Structure 1
Amino acid sequence: MSPTRKKVIITQSNYIPWKGYFDSIALVDEFILYDDVQYTRRDWRNRNLIKTYQGLQWLTIPVEVKGKYFQKIKETKISDKNWADDHLKAIKLNYAKAQHFKEVFPFLENIYQKAKNFVYLSEINYLFLSEICKYLDIHTPMKFSYEYPYQSEDRNLRLIEICQLANATDYYSGPAAQSYLDITLFEKHNIKVHWLDYSGYKEYAQLHPPFEHKVSIIDLLLNEGKNSKQFLKYTTK
């Protein structure tokens, strides 16, 4: 009998990320949020895109960054408590005519109300990820990397150590990591590296043409509701 294999992804948490992010969660056996690394500005950690009548618009969670150049994602705090209401207003304004607005907006509104109770960006991202996964019937366990007592400071060895602590045999990563990931080193530690493929997504009934794939998952949810799973690759059809 061949040994049991375990697939993992180790990546930073994002705010209401695009559908490909949720597909990657559905693909693996454990999804590890890598939030004890440095927070990067103007990135997907605290913002994402929605469709509007005027084109694409950022929904951004304001965070404390002044003088905090080396803070970790898990240490990053929210700087304006009104952000949730502002985002809800923008969603309502631009998606009121979406086919599944009446069903999905209350679901999103409930998450935003819960999010108001959190101080840290990482907690908010986890909340949205976990609640939207439930909606999509994605049941992959999610953990934070700091739950594993790794010690290495080297970029590749740290990932390898987390994989080992998680008993992972297969590590999945986005194509951007090809520039720094040492595949040979992973293989020496009996971990097989796989690259995620974000091509081949079907279009759905999106508002405000032209069609745009790389917008927040909430765009798909508001337009397709429970049918959203049909437009992902790795969810149960």
Structure 2
Amino acid sequence: MSCLVYPTYFPNIAHFVAMVRSDSVYFEVCDNYQKQSYRNRTEIYGANGKLALTVPVSYTQKNRQLYKDVKIANEDNWQIQHLKSLQSAYSMSPFFEFYIDDLMPLFEKRFDYILDFNLKCFETLLDSLQIEIITQRTIIFEKSPDNKTDYRSLAKRNHKVESFKSYVQVFSEKHGFISNLSILDLLFNEGPNSELYLKKQKL
């Protein structure tokens, strides 16, 4: 069965569990943009616990915009800030040095649109994870899609996901295991074991 998801910023583990357990993946790109979602936000494990990294976007609720038309507000030095946060959070993780060079171009190149940036992040992640996922983009918006498992609700920040199996995280001795963070948390801590971990989880 195919699954339908939103392209999000360094998707959380739930997104990847849904994708690796599906035959193919459809990215929803025909919807109106919504604030307060993971479209422009990811969560990592910092020294003080869960830390949100948000890509600033130019968007107003008054004039509805399609997701693909929403621009990144590049006036802020958000890429430098996000990179510093990742370095601070994961420089002591087992696989940080192994993967960070692959991710660096995402923080060095300017991107104009949040959708394009998220798709590039996803493409980079697949290379790092060495996972083969067949993806397509939607052509029209369907409220109730046929022949696809609809996981679009995973992009909502208040969507509840059952806790996944724990793995060792950099600051777990201080704050315990935090489930369903950005896929980067799993990648930096578990490295090549990430794919096996994802396939063992259930939504």
Shorter-chain TM band: 0.7 to 0.9
1:122 is aligned to 2:99:
no
Is the Cα–Cα contact under 8 Å of residues 49 and 57 in structure 1 kept in the other structure? Answer: yes
Aligned match of 1:71: 65
Q: Tell me: higher relative CO, structure 1 or 2? Use CA pairs within 8 A at least 6 residues apart.
A: 2
- Could you tell me the percent identity over the aligned residues? 26
Structure 1 gaps, min length 5: 1-6, 161-169, 178-197
Indicate whether 1:174 and 2:151 are aligned.
yes
Gaps in structure 2 of 5+ consecutive residues: 155-160
Report what 1:216 is aligned to: 182
If the length of structure 1 is used for normalisation, what is the TM-score?
Answer: 0.72
2:195 is aligned with 1:232? no
Instruction: State how many pairs are aligned.
Output: 191
Distance (whole Å) between structure 2 residues aligned to residue 104 and residue 154 of structure 1: 37
Q: How does 1:49-128 map to 2 (within 5 A)?
A: 49-66=43-60, 69-80=63-74, 82-113=77-108, 116-128=109-121
When Rg is computed on C-alpha atoms for both structures, the one with the higher figure is 1
CA distance in 2, matches of 1:56, 1:133: 24
Alpha-carbon offset, residue 11 of structure 1: 2.1
C-alpha contact (below 8 Å) 1:33/1:145 kept by paired residues? yes
- CA-to-aligned-CA distance 1:81-128 (integer Å, 9 cap, x gap): 522221111100111111111112222213333xx3321100111111
Query: TM-score of the superposition, structure 2-length normalised?
Result: 0.84
SS of alignment partner, residue 221 of structure 1: helix
Instruction: Give the secondary structure class of the aligned counterpart of 1:9.
Output: strand
Which residue is 1:167 aligned to? Answer: none
Residue 40 of structure 1, CA deviation: 0.9
For the pair 1:207 / 2:170, whether they are aligned, the reply is yes
